[in-house]
Amino acid sequence: MKQRIATGVGAGLLFAAAAALGGWYYNVLLMLLAIIGFYEYVRLNGMTLGHPLVLCGYAGLAAIVFPWEQAGLAGFPVHEAIWPLAALLLAVTVLTKNRATLDGAALVLMGAVYIGFGFGAMIDVRDIEPNGLFWTALAFGSIWASDTGAYFAGGRFGRTKLWPAISPNKTVEGAIGGVLAAVAVAVVFALAAPEWLSVGRAVAIGLAASVAGQIGDLIQSAYKRLRGVKDTGRLLPGHGGVLDRCDSWLIVFPLLVLTGLIP
């Protein structure tokens, strides 16, 4: 437990400092997390780092997550990287005479999109001018409030299992507690900065962050159960890997951006 707390505090402070500084401090950190997360993903699927599909996947991941505008390359259509990546992966299956399988190509494409757009959305939100730090803190605050609220509400009131086949400790009462906590924190942000955020939008953000975050957590739990592992990696002692810690982030941030809840 001491190791878990120490790791959590240290990693949290590092991440908070990078987010506060913004710019390339934050972007480089998130790109590193994306690279490590993709490595965990392909390893979880039994593929090696030098596999031709994995190398193509890393190229696609880089194209999706890289902050092109900050690098002075504005206008790069990131979403249009998906089709060339899919075509490249399919070409690899042909060139290797199906030693690189179609199933492997599909898994790599899904991983690059899932992880790349997740971390890319986090970079995009922080880069919003002039209040990117506010929106970043709001999104993360809602996610962490949901996690905390679910933990305590589940421990105190939890009776009804939410999805025991995937995550036996989660309860419906905990999930509701997480939603209420996330909404409450988002409303506090609205009251603190009414010129940037209305109470109505804050409620929608808190609700979306909590529900999507809990779904992201269940997605990762289901995947780990399918692969028969407890953690996706060992980067953070007591916490697991990048995908273990960022599972909800990867779903919440793209959702908030795509829905326009974060403008």
Same structural domain, 135 and 260: yes
Same structural domain, 245 and 235: yes
The whole-number pLDDT of residue 71 equals: 80
pLDDT band at residue 10 under the 50/70/90 scheme: confident
Q: Which of 92-106, 184-198, 227-241 has the lowest mean pLDDT?
A: 227-241
Where a domain ends, among 127, 156, 171?
Answer: 127
Same structural domain, 62 and 188: no
The whole-number pLDDT of residue 9 equals: 81
Same structural domain, 8 and 62: yes
Same structural domain, 134 and 260: yes
The answer to whether the CB of 248 falls within 8 A of the CB of 212 is: yes
Same structural domain, 228 and 185: yes
Same structural domain, 144 and 26: no
Same structural domain, 139 and 257: yes
What are the φ/ψ torsions at residue 235 (nearest 5 degrees)? -60, -40
User: Is a pLDDT exceeding 90 seen at residue 259?
Assistant: yes
- DSSP-assigned letters across all residues of 168-197: EEEEHHHHHHHHHHHHHHHHHHHHH-TTT-
Where a domain ends, among 72, 93, 127?
Answer: 127
User: Is a pLDDT exceeding 70 seen at residue 2?
Assistant: no
pLDDT band at residue 247 under the 50/70/90 scheme: very high
Same structural domain, 72 and 135: no
The whole-number pLDDT of residue 166 equals: 86
Overall domain count for the chain: 2
Where a domain ends, among 60, 93, 127?
Answer: 127
The whole-number pLDDT of residue 12 equals: 87
- 119/235: higher pLDDT: 119
User: Is a pLDDT exceeding 80 seen at residue 4?
Assistant: no
DSSP for residue 75: T
Q: Which of 150, 148, 138 is nearest to 185 (CA)?
A: 138
Same structural domain, 4 and 117: yes
Q: What is the pLDDT of residues 166-223, one digit of tens each?
A: 888 899 999 999 999 999 999 999 999 999 999 999 999 999 999 999 999 999 999 9
Same structural domain, 121 and 133: no
The whole-number pLDDT of residue 249 equals: 97
Same structural domain, 133 and 258: yes
Q: Which domain holds residue 25?
A: 1-127
pTM of the model: 0.93
State the residue for tokens 């999805």. Answer: 163
Q: What share of the chain is helix, strand, coil (3-state, %, to 5)?
A: 70, 5, 25
